[in-house]
Amino acid sequence: MAAMAVALRGLGGRFRWRTQAVAGGVRGAARAGQRDYDLLVIGGGSGGLACAKEGTRWGLGGTCVNVGCIPKKLMHQAALLGGLIQDAPHYGWEVAQPVPHDWRKMAEAVQNHVKSLNWGHRVQLQDRKVKYFNIKASFVDEHTVCGVAKGGKEILLSADHIIIATGGRPRYPTHIEGALEYGITSDDIFWLKESPGKTLVVGASYVALECAGFLTGIGLDTTVMIRSIPLRGFDQQMSSMVIEHMASHGTQFLRGCAPSRVRRLPDGHLQVTWEDCTTGKEDTGTFDTVLWAIGRVPDTRSLNLEKAGVDTSPDTQKILVDSREGTSVPHIYAIGDVVEGRPELTPTAIMAGRLLVQRLFGGSSDLMDYDNVPTTVFTPLEYGCVGLSEEEAVARHGQEHVEVYHAHYKPLEFTVAGRDASQCYVKMVCLREPPQLVLGLHFLGPNAGEVTQGFALGIK
């Protein structure tokens, strides 16, 4: 976790940096009534960087840049290219089939791009006179943070305003024997030097399905183990169609199953034991890699939030905030995935961060609007949506007040290549009474992200 400190221009038009040495080798403690910085941001991800620019274990950029959206989308693109190569002969290109895929070359290219983004963020912070500390931060009191560097050296930083933007980390099923020792998460998959080989993906989240999708797409034997329902929180008709498309294009699914044990065999392979949740029957399989994608947890446990008086949800450990991103402590704020009830999306964290800093230092009163935020799941056939799912619309307004318009379609690029378009589908969930307000739009097909963001403007 990174900490960034900003000294914003005061009435004198000059930046004020105040750092004092104190006994014991700890630097940065503030004298009573005098603090080091105007603003301290804990977290170097999308939201934290947006705050710091407006006014880790990996490089700067957080989950999205290092182990999330960016490498995921690039590996998704690699898989889509594989499909286009298969289409190419239909369009007159003489391509010898099959075309092998080189994981090492792809991974190196993706990782080099990520590193370039890390460097870009460092340069931008420097240009904006933001002091960057690569430290693990925890609260000492409501205005002071203690940071520990890699070598163990401590520094105390104090600020008038503190923004927590530490995001979340993948959850490990620590109750399962061998899960921690032999499994990996999305924090690891994008930085593997060698191909993961035959892979078991455990989970039904968008992370699980996206990873399974691009692994299948580049030619790897991939199985997804789902205990209950896929894409919980998304429209379930659309979720089912996502699964149908993946299954028909090579991804294998174990439905209604839960893993109980992972062991390493003498030949190096991993033996996974699982149980059928309906019958109780036990089964096993061997894999090269086991990828846990069973959800995320907020990165709050090491922050010592109780020392600052910041309240969290007893169920999720996420930070509780009001509509102005304010916590239970007046000058401490939180944005992004670490916050209870907020969408776990990079663009919302960025916009929330910018608006917050503009309110704090720019005289603005604009609040972040969290309604009708579009999102896309980058499965092989992409699923984009904005607004309510059909289930949410019915729960909120009643079945008799909801009308659903829907259509199957065939993308033009699918025609010549003879691609199956049976899951290309769009539906609008509307109020039945005129003027039939659109409550939600759901699109399954190529380039869903680009399509959905256009419709999102109309729905807003």
Q: Is 73 annotated as a binding residue?
A: yes
Q: Is 295 annotated as a binding residue?
A: yes
CA 441 to chain centre: 22
Q: Is 444 annotated as a binding residue?
A: no
Q: Check if the beta carbon of residue 64 is closer than 8 Å to that of residue 70.
A: yes
Question: Hey, how many other C-beta atoms are within 10 angstroms of the C-beta on 391?
Answer: 14
Q: Is 12 annotated as a binding residue?
A: no
Q: Is 207 annotated as a binding residue?
A: yes
Q: Is 206 annotated as a binding residue?
A: yes
> 3-state SS of the chain?
CCEEEECCCCCCCCCCCCCCECHHHCECCCCCCCCCEEEEEECCCHHHHHHHHHCCCCCCCHHHHHHCHHHHHHHHHHHHHHHHHHHHHHHCCCCCCCCCCCHHHHHHHHHHHHHHHHHHHHHHHHHCCEEEECCEEEEEECCEEEEECCCCCEEEEEEEEEEECCCEEECCCCCCECHHHHEECHHHHCCCCCCCCCEEEECCCHHHHHHHHHHHHCCCCEEEEECCCCCCCCCHHHHHHHHHHHHHCCCEEEECEEEEEEEECCCCCEEEEEEECCCCCEEEEEECEEEECCCEEECCHHHCHHHHCCCECCCCCCECCCCCCECCCCCEEECHHHECCCCCCHHHHHHHHHHHHHHHHCCCCCCCCCCCCCEEECCCCCEEEEECCHHHHHHHHCHHHEEEEEEECCCHHHHHHCCCCCCCEEEEEEECCCCCCEEEEEEECCCHHHHHHHHHHHHC
Q: Is 158 annotated as a binding residue?
A: no
Q: Is 407 annotated as a binding residue?
A: no
Q: Is 182 annotated as a binding residue?
A: no
Binding residues: 73, 203-210, 295, 337
- Binding site residue list for NAD(+): 203-210, 295
Binding site members for FAD: 73, 337
